[in-house]
Amino acid sequence: MLNFLEARQAGLDDPGRLRRAEATRRVLKLELNKDREVERIHSNGVNTLDIEPVEGRYMLSGGSDGIIVLYDLENFSRKVHYTCKAVCSVGRNHPDVHKYSVETVQWYPHDTGMFTSSSFDKTLKIWDTNTLQPADVFHFEGTVYSHHMSPVATKHCLIAVGTKGPKVQLCDLKSGSCSHILQGHRQEILAVSWSPRYEYILATASADSKVKLWDIRRASGCLITLDQHNGEKSKASSEAANTAHNGRVNGLCFTRDGLHLLTTGTDDRMRLWNSSSGENTLVNYGKVCNESRKGLKFTISHGCSPEFVFVPYGSTIAVYTVYSGELITMLRGHYNTVDCCVFQPNFQELYSGSRDCNILAWVPALREPLPDEDDEVVSHSQKNPAFQDAWSSSDEEG
């Protein structure tokens, strides 16, 4: 660290190098924070999380109970141990609450005055944050699995929606109607994601094993159908042509620069694609356990070198380097399947939601404990009965 500071002071280093190095160090030190709790509101699994990009302070959660909760992540108490409180929620008693499971929540990318939610009740709702009332509601013929607003769009206000039908629908916030339909998939659309680099480029993932990239300005729509074999599949192979995975594709995430796209499938594989050429980069992440029947919400770090991807993996979260595929660690703390996680880039923190109804906070460990501190903890645990195992068998008691 001192070397970085000296080089920065002498003008020998790019100012961003120290920032990237510190961000990377913090991500590598992520651990479950026992001093920070997120208030438990959901009575069923947590399916989706989103942190607003303006301040990085407010987080939305959506659950299988149909409830939406808004949390304030700021620690106003300045105490070491604190709880992230729910500011408000769309609970079961709210007249406009979703009837069934909420699958996706997302903040409006440019301010915190509006957010969106979609549900198995076949609706997409646009919410006014201040009044907690829906400003608009879009109705669909089938279950809604996923939706997404572009983080960079300035010339359109379209929300991409993936439903149980094979058509991708684009809803226009300005007109309040579905303005486009993208046809090409053959089964339900499990995940959608706009490019963070080009406002007209959209990626969609389907249960038909395919991932498509679209330019919504084109009449034909589809630019590329991703092929895991890069066009070199043997004719004798039983695998279908132009498939991204050998199973349902239920997760999509662009890297922050938009140059690459990560996908996950029920074939227990994760793949990294060049988003311009559609080429499979053939990075090997090994087995990435994925049994989800719906969308899987994973996330990528920002401002690190190298960048990391955080993927729900059973009841844990697997952390890989994006471009080399190396498994860095497994974050353990949940008691049931993890369905979503979201990265907070300002402080390199991670939040995860699980079917155990909990939202956990993973934060960088500040420093390594000194050897004498370890001794002190051991002696403290020996002296304090609260740290001792009080269990005994009935035979011993007798």
pLDDT of residue 13: 67
Residues of the chain falling short of pLDDT 50: 235-236, 373, 376-398
**Gap between the Cα atoms of 217 and 226, Å rounded:** 20
pLDDT at 236: 43
Q: Look up tokens 């694609």; give the residue.
A: 273
pLDDT at 372: 56
Domain for residue 383, yes or no? Answer: no
| Residue 162 within a domain | yes
The domain total for the chain is 1
Residue 49 lies in a domain: yes
How far is Cα 88 from Cα 71, in angstroms, rounded to an integer?
A: 7
8 A C-beta contact, residue 134 and residue 114 = no
Q: How far apart are CA 55 and CA 53, in angstroms?
A: 6
- Is 112 a member of any domain? yes
Sign of CA dihedral 351, 353, 356, 359: positive
Going by C-beta distance under 8 Å and a sequence separation of 6 or more, which residues neighbour residue 61? 41, 42, 46, 48, 49, 68, 69, 71, 105, 353, 359
Q: Is residue 62 part of a domain?
A: yes
| 48 lies in some domain | yes
Contact in structure between 204 and 168 (CB atoms under 8 Å): yes
Count the neighbouring beta carbons within 10 Å of the beta carbon of residue 297: 27
Q: Is residue 148 part of a domain?
A: yes
State how far the alpha carbon of 389 is from the alpha carbons of 84, 209, 253, 393, in Å. 31, 50, 45, 12
Alpha carbon distance 64, 152 (integer Å): 30
Asked if 223 and 217 count as a contact pair (C-beta separation under 8 A), the reply is no
Structure tokens, 186: 């053959």
* Beta-bridge mates of residue 203: 193, 213
- Domain assignment of residue 329, given as a range: 14-364
| pTM for the full predicted model | 0.88
Determine the Cα–Cα distance for residues 38 and 85; give it in Å rounded to an integer: 7
The radius of gyration of the chain's CA atoms, rounded to the nearest angstrom, is 23
With 0-12 / 13-18 / 19 or more C-beta atoms within 10 angstroms meaning exposed / middle / buried, residue 266 is: buried
CATH at residue 332: 2.130.10.10
Residue 111 within a domain:
yes
